[in-house]
Structure 1
C-alpha cells in the first residue's frame, strides 16, 4: 500500500513538472488594430491594421549563450486617414483637399524576423519587410468594404492618397533587462528602421507588473515559442500589466511624405504632409499566456505624426496566438 502511494505521488509530481515545463515550438496568431476599440468615436490617422503571424522556435546548443531563437513570418496591412475617413464631412467636400492633415495611405507587406534571445535576458530581433504603399495596397477597397459591411459612413478622399511605391525595409530591435524585484521589472527597449518606406529609431523603458517570465520566453519579446526550456520559467503562466513609453526619431515615413526615390507625377492627385521628426508614444496593456494561448490587449497613444495634424492619435490592439508542436 505504501509502495502504491509512493508511486502515485511520483507520477503526480512528474506530471506536474511536465505540465510546468511543457513547451511549444510553433505558434500562429492574428493582430487587429483599430481606433474604434478605444470607444472614443474617432476614425482618423492610423485607423486600421490587420496582421497574420507564424513563429517557429529553432534549436539552440545547451552550452550556447542563447536561450531561445525564433524564426517568424508575417503579413499585414495598415490603413491611414486624415482627420476623417471622408473629407466630404468638411467644408468644400472632396474637391477641397485642404482638410487632409495626414495623407490617405495604405501599406501592404510580407516579412520575416529572426529573434536571438540570450541568457542575460537581452535579445536582438532582425526583420525584413517587402511591400507596397499606395493604391496597390488596397486601403480604399478594404476600408470601403468594412464601412459598408458594418453600416458606417462611405469613405471619400482616397483619390488623394499616396502614390504607389514599392518598399523594402530592414529593422533591428534590441531589448535588455535592467532590474527585477518579485512582481515588477524594468527593461530597456530600442529599435532602428532603415528603408525607403520607414527610417528612424526609438528607445524607452518597459515596465511590467504581475506574473511574467524571463525575456527569453515571454510575450514581451515575442518569444513564447520555444524548442526547449534550458532554464525553468519564473511562472507557469504569464499575467501582467505593462507600460511602455517611447521616444521616437522619424527620419522618413513614406505614408506621410510619399516615395523616397519617385518624383511628383504631374497627373497625380497625391497629397503629402510634413512629418514631425520627433514623436512620443505611450502603450499600456495586459498580457496573458498559458499552455496553448497567448493574448495581449493594448491601448497606444501617440503625439502628432505630421506638422498639419490637428490632434494626437490613439488606437487599440488585440493580439492572439495559438501554440502547438
Structure 2
C-alpha cells in the first residue's frame, strides 16, 4: 500500500512539473477541447473493498468544435435551452467492485459481489449563464469481458498487495446501458469574502438502465480565488455531477468545494446481480447518500483536483460506509 501511495505522489509531482511548461491562455482564446483523466480508488482511504477502483478518460469538445449532429440533437431536446452553448463528450472507463476479504476463493454470500464494468460513453452539454444540462449514454459490458479481474490482479502483483482470489464468483457477462440526465444551477452567493468568491450549484437528475437506475438531487458549494467557470471536477458515475471542461479566468486560480447528494436507487446491477440469470447478489439499500470535499487548482490551461468521498452503506449488512478518493487532471487545448 505504501508503495502504491508513493507511486501516486510521484505521478502527481510529474503532472505538476509538466504543468509549468503549459503556455498562458485566457478565457477569450479559442477552445479546441478538454482532455480529462480520472482515477477513483479506495486506497486513498486505506480500504480495498466494495467500490474499489474506477478509471475514466474522456474528451469534451470546445463549442466551435461540437459536431453538427450534436447541436441538432441538443436543439431538439425539450429540456435543453435553445440558447445554450453546446459541447459533446466521449469517454472510456472501467469500474471494479470486490468484497471485503480478497484472500477468500469462495467469498461470503452476504458481502459485495465481485464485478467489473467496462464502458464507452457519449454525452451532450448545454450551458447557459444560469444552468448546465447534461445528457449521457453509456454502453458497455458487465462480467468477465470487462477485464476487471485481469486489471486488479496485475496491479496487486505489481505493488505486492493481496492477490484477489475470488473472481471466479464475479457477475456473468451482460451488456449494459445507462442513460443519465442532470441539471445543475449556478447561484452566485458572494464575490468578495476577503477577496474570495462563493457560489452554489444545486442539481437534480436521474439514471435509467439495467446497470444503474436512480433519481438524485443535491448541491455543491465552491469558495475560491479566480475560480474558473465550471461545475466542479469530473467524477465517475454515480457521483455528484460536474463538468468535463472549464474556462480559466486567470493564469492561476483555485477553489475549495464541498457537496452532498441523495439517491433513490431502483437498480444497481453490482448489488442486485445479473438481470436475466442467477448470480451473486445482496440486498441493496434504496436510499444512498454521498458527501464530498476537495480542492481544485487551475494553472493556465490545466485543472488538477482531488476529491474525498464518503458514501453511506449501499447494501444490508455492509460493515462500514464507503470512503474513497478521486484524482482528476483536465487539460484544455
Per the normalisation by structure 1, the TM-score is 0.80
| Shift, 1:29, TM fit | 2.3
Does the CA contact (< 8 Å) of 1:83 and 1:100 recur in 2? no
1:44 to 23, 34, 49: 49
Aligned mates of 1:272, 1:293 — CA distance in 2: 41
Q: Deviations over 1:86-114 (max 9, x none)?
A: 3x2xxxxx34x326511111110001111
Cα offset for 1:132?
A: 0.6
Partner of 1:34: 41
Residues 172-211 of structure 1: matches in 2 within 5 Å? 172-182=181-191, 183-211=197-225
User: 2:133 pairs with 114, 124, 127, which one?
Assistant: 124
Inter-CA distance 254–223: structure 2 relative to 1 (3 Å threshold):
closer
In the TM superposition, residue 294 of structure 1 has moved relative to its aligned partner by 1.5
Cα deviation for residue 256 of structure 1 reads 1.1
Q: Please, which runs of 5 or more residues in structure 2 have no aligned partner?
A: 1-23, 72-80, 192-196, 235-240
Per-residue deviation at 1:18? 7.6
Per the alignment, residue 273 of structure 2 pairs with 258
Q: How does 1:162-311 map to 2 (within 5 A)?
A: 162-182=171-191, 183-211=197-225, 212-215=227-230, 221-222=242-243, 224=245, 237-260=252-275, 262-264=276-278, 270-311=279-320
Q: Which string of whole-angstrom CA distances, capped at 9 and with x for unpartnered residues, describes residues 157-206 of structure 1? A: 11111111101110101100234211111121222100111100111111
- Within 1, Cα distance between the matches of 2:273 and 2:326? 26
Where in structure 1 are there 5+ consecutive unaligned residues?
1-16, 89-93, 227-232, 265-269
Task: Give yes or no for contact 2:35–2:60 (8 Å, CA) kept in 1.
Answer: yes
How far did residue 221 of structure 1 move? 3.9
Q: Cα deviation per residue 1:277-300 (whole Å; 9 max; x = unaligned)?
A: 001111111112233212111111
Moved over 6 A (4+): 216-220
Match of 1:72 in 2: 89
Q: Give the Cα separation in 2 of the matches to 1:123 and 1:34.
A: 28
Question: Over the residues paired in the alignment, what is the CA RMSD in angstroms?
Answer: 2.5
Instruction: Choose the corresponding residue for 1:144, options 153, 167, 172.
Output: 153
How many matched pairs?
Answer: 284
Cα 1:224–1:23 shift into 2, 3 Å:
farther
Quote how far apart the aligned CAs of 1:65 are. Answer: 6.1
Report how far residue 20 of structure 1 moved.
5.6
Point out the structure with max Rg over C-alpha: 1
* Aligned mates of 2:231, 2:222 — CA distance in 1: 15
How many Å apart are 1:140 and its aligned residue? 0.9
Q: Is 1:115 the counterpart of 2:160 in the alignment?
A: no
The answer to whether the 8 A contact 1:115-1:126 is kept is yes
Per mean C-alpha deviation after superposition, the further-off stretch among 286-295 and 166-175 is 286-295
What is the rounded CA distance, in whole Å, between the counterparts of 2:163 and 2:233 in structure 1?
41
Displacement of 1:67 in angstroms is: 5.3
Whether the 8 Å CA contact 1:133–1:162 is kept in 2: the answer is yes
Q: How does 1:10-21 map to 2 (within 5 A)?
A: 19=26, 21=28
Counterparts of 1:282 and 1:55, CA distance in 2 = 26
CA distances 1:41-91 after superposition (whole Å, capped 9, x unpaired): x11111111111111122399xx96453221100000010111333x2xxx
Structure 2: distance between partners of 1:33 and 1:244: 17
Q: Distance in 2 between matches of 1:25 and 1:160?
A: 45
Shift in CA distance, 18/312, structure 1 to aligned 2, threshold 3 Å: closer
Q: Is the 8 A contact 1:34 1:48 kept in 2?
A: yes
Find the aligned partners of 1:18 and 1:148 in 2 and give their Cα distance. Answer: 42
